[in-house]
């Protein structure tokens, strides 16, 4: 969008939109100091952790980590892409957008896309009319009736039927539409022996596939008998990419947002069956496995994905692949187990809504399902059980929560009979945690060179002792680093004060040091204005900045000067400790066989060590 609308116009829209007023349409906010707080609309919580800062026009959730400006909030809450969010807020603010003059290539692509949408629209109407009204659609109407679907379901999804070799081609030509565009969309294919283009969907029920704006971008066709292939799907085109689209998402998105979860199925009729039965939060993949793009899409709307795939070998394989994709995106997944040979559509017809609701209530975590299945397949043989355990640990190590990892490792130990500590060692090895352990503050002394213990921490001048609890923003940062960045970001202290005190060398953790360098580089004589540079940052750094900017300022109650002084003292003390640790390590290396020519260097280190006490 920034290539079509000027940055100045985007900034004007941002400035003219009151973020508190916008978010208040979706979240009940209460005024709390400089911020407004409420329950996060993007994850389930009982204690408010969602914070909105009116002055800086940012929001951040300390529970799930989501944050951003007015555009990113609207994109996530409404499932919009950036251009649509800009247009919506521009209209809301009464701002007229000035589109740039497109290049000839851009104009050509846009004209083609418009034609393709039009061809799909006309084709869908043609197919739908055949199913609903034409005598040729009677076999398809009977098929739908046998499966329990009437005119209402067919109308809501605009389901259709294609019955003849060249009926669609003739209809498109009568409407003045180019058959070349229909070929691009896969609606027509060249016939053999100069027989003309034919309809590859003929003899099939037709399911239109919509994008998030409700436009028809593709079709799926199902046979009316047991012949193969059961389904065919539109090929990819300039308006359709199957790895980014989910069938039924256009109809299901509001329900998904409201309940916070989605039911993910494989078949079009499975989606239709659950939607009709009162489970509107259901979508289906379009003839492909779940992709990372799908997961990104689902993450806009839900906090959990419930998988309902077949229980045969292929279905389980698809379940485990989907679980891995979702896991890597940090989305919890669960599995509903249906009897073998049943899919959601057939189960609903045989057992009914109440029976399905019971199954939904008993959905087990995807990891638990995976563990049980892998161990069951392995049997009781020792070698097979070891391989199964290794396979399960590989999956456990991908979980983002260490607590969740530990719970599943305990469960695996209980089920497999393998020692828990051994499983933890394997898990640590998989995720590389063994190589990332931090050194202790007090390495053991050797007999030839007894090394003193570091002094106990003392309270900093001014009565400010940074809390020992972990940072609110980054668990591995110290509170002093976090607080000092907050002081700088909120213009309580100047960049010159930070530079005079030691600059980025004050910060012990590399990420905190990088953030400090970023803020110091952006600072001017009048201070920092985050809105002027945050749009150019990577998403992770932008979120981090917003989290820092929205920290509770109650910690400044004893005065900014005292807090600043306390932070400097604590950080400088930690820097000394770090240098002492480095000196200790170097001295130990000398003891363990350093070169004879390094005596002078060792003596210098001893002098430095004494000075660091």
Residue 10 CA to residue 417 CA, distance in Å, equals: 60
Which domains are delineated in the chain?
A: 7-93 (3.90.580.10), 108-240 (3.90.980.10), 244-362 (3.40.1360.10), 370-436 (no CATH), 461-597 (1.10.860)
Classified as helix, coil or strand, 161 is: strand
Identify each DSSP E strand in 412-519 by its residue range.
none
Which SS3 state, helix, strand or coil, does residue 79 take?
Answer: coil
pLDDT of residue 257: 77
Question: Which tens digits make up the pLDDT trace of 205-229?
Answer: 999 999 877 899 999 999 999 888 9
Distance CA 284, CA 244 (A): 12
What tokens were used for 438?
A: 């931090």
User: Do 217 and 240 touch, CB atoms closer than 8 A?
Assistant: yes
Q: Which two tokens stand for residue 97?
A: 């957008």
Q: Which residue has the tokens 């029976």?
A: 355
Locate 78 and state its tokens: 């409404």
Evaluate whether 127 touches 160 at the Cβ level (below 8 Å).
yes
Which stretches in the chain have pLDDT values below 50? 1-3, 433-470
What's the DSSP call for residue 198?
Answer: B
- SS3 (DSSP) at 191: coil
- Tell me what pLDDT residue 501 has: 83
DSSP reduced 3-state for 533? coil
Tens digit of pLDDT for each residue in 391-428?
999 999 888 788 888 999 999 999 888 889 989 888 88
Rounded Cα distance, 398 and 331, in Å: 12
The pLDDT of residue 552: 54
Question: What is the Cα–Cα distance from 145 to 138, expressed in whole angstroms?
Answer: 10
How far apart are the C-alpha atoms of 337 and 325, rounded to whole Å?
20
Q: What angle do CA 358, 359, 361 make, to 5 degrees?
A: 65
434 in Cβ contact with 421 (< 8 Å): no
**456 CB-contact burial (10 Å; exposed 0-12 / middle 13-18 / buried 19+):** exposed
Q: What is the pLDDT of residue 159?
A: 96
The pTM for the full model equals 0.59
Q: How many angstroms from the chain centroid is the CA of residue 527? A: 34
* Residue 263: how many other CB atoms lie within 10 Å: 28
Where is 35: in which H helix or E strand?
strand 35-38
> In sequence order, what are the residues at sequence separation of 6 or more whose Cβ sits closer than 8 angstroms to the Cβ of residue 342?
311, 350
Angle at 153 between CA 151 and CA 157, to 5 degrees: 115
How do beta strands 204-210 and 160-162 pair? Answer: antiparallel
Radius of gyration of the chain (CA): 31
């Amino acid at each position: 969008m920034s290539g079509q609308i000027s940055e100045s116009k985007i900034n004007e829209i941002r400035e003219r939109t009151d973020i508190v007023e916008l978010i208040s349409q979706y979240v009940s906010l209460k005024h709390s100091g400089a911020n407004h707080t409420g329950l996060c609309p993007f994850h389930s919580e009982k204690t408010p952790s969602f914070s909105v800062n009116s002055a800086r026009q940012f929001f951040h959730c300390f529970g799930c980590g989501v944050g951003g400006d007015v555009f990113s909030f609207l994109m996530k809450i409404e499932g919009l892409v950036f251009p649509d969010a800009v247009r919506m807020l521009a209209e809301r603010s009464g701002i007229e957008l000035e589109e740039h003059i497109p290049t000839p290539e851009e104009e050509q692509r846009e004209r083609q896309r418009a034609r393709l949408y039009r061809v799909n629209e006309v084709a869908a109407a043609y197919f739908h009319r055949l199913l609903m009204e034409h005598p040729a659609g009677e076999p398809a109407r009977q098929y739908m009736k046998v499966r329990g679907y009437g005119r209402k379901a067919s109308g809501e999804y605009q389901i259709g039927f294609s019955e003849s070799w060249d009926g669609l081609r003739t209809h498109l030509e009568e409407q003045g539409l180019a058959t070349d565009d229909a070929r691009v969309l896969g609606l027509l294919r060249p016939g053999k022996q100069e027989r003309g283009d034919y309809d590859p969907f003929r003899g099939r029920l037709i399911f239109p596939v919509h994008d998030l704006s409700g436009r028809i971008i593709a079709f799926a066709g199902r046979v009316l008998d047991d012949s193969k292939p059961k389904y065919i799907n539109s090929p990819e085109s300039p308006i359709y990419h199957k790895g980014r689209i989910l069938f039924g998402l256009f109809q299901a998105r509001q329900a998904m947002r409201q309940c916070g979860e989605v039911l993910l199925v494989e078949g079009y009729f499975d989606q239709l069956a659950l939607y009709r039965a009162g489970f509107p939060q259901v979508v289906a993949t379009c003839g492909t496995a779940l992709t990372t793009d799908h997961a990104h899409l689902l993450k806009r709307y839900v906090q959990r994905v419930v998988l309902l795939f077949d229980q045969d070998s292929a279905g389980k394989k698809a379940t485990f692949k989907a679980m891995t994709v979702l896991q890597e995106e940090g989305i919890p997944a669960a599995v509903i187990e249906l009897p073998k040979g049943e899919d959601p559509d057939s189960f609903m017809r045989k057992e009914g809504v109440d029976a399905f609701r019971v199954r939904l209530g008993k959905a087990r975590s995807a990891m638990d399902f995976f563990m049980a299945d892998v161990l069951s397949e392995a049997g009781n043989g020792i070698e097979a059980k070891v391989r199964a355990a290794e396979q399960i640990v590989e999956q456990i190590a991908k979980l983002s929560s260490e607590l969740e990892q530990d719970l599943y490792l305990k469960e695996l130990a209980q089920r497999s009979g393998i020692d828990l500590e051994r499983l933890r060692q394997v898990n640590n090895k998989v995720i590389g945690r063994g190589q990332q352990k931090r050194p202790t503050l007090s390495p053991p002394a050797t007999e030839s060179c007894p090394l003193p213990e570091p002094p106990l921490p003392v309270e900093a001048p001014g009565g400010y002792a940074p809390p020992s609890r972990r940072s609110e923003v980054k668990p591995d940062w110290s509170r002093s680093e976090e607080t000092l960045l907050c002081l700088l970001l909120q213009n309580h202290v100047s960049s010159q004060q930070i530079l005079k005190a030691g600059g980025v060398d004050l910060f012990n953790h590399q990420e905190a040091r990088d953030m400090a360098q970023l803020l110091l580089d952006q600072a001017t004589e009048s201070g920092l204005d985050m809105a002027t540079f945050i749009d150019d940052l990577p998403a992770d750094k932008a979120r981090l900045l917003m989290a820092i900017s929205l920290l509770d300022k109650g910690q400044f109650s004893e005065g900014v000067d005292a807090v600043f002084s306390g932070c400097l003292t604590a950080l400088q003390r930690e820097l000394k400790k770090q240098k002492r640790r480095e000196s200790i390590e170097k001295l130990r290396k000398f003891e363990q066989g350093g070169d004879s020519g390094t005596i002078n260097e060792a003596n210098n280190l001893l002098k430095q060590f004494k000075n660091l006490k």
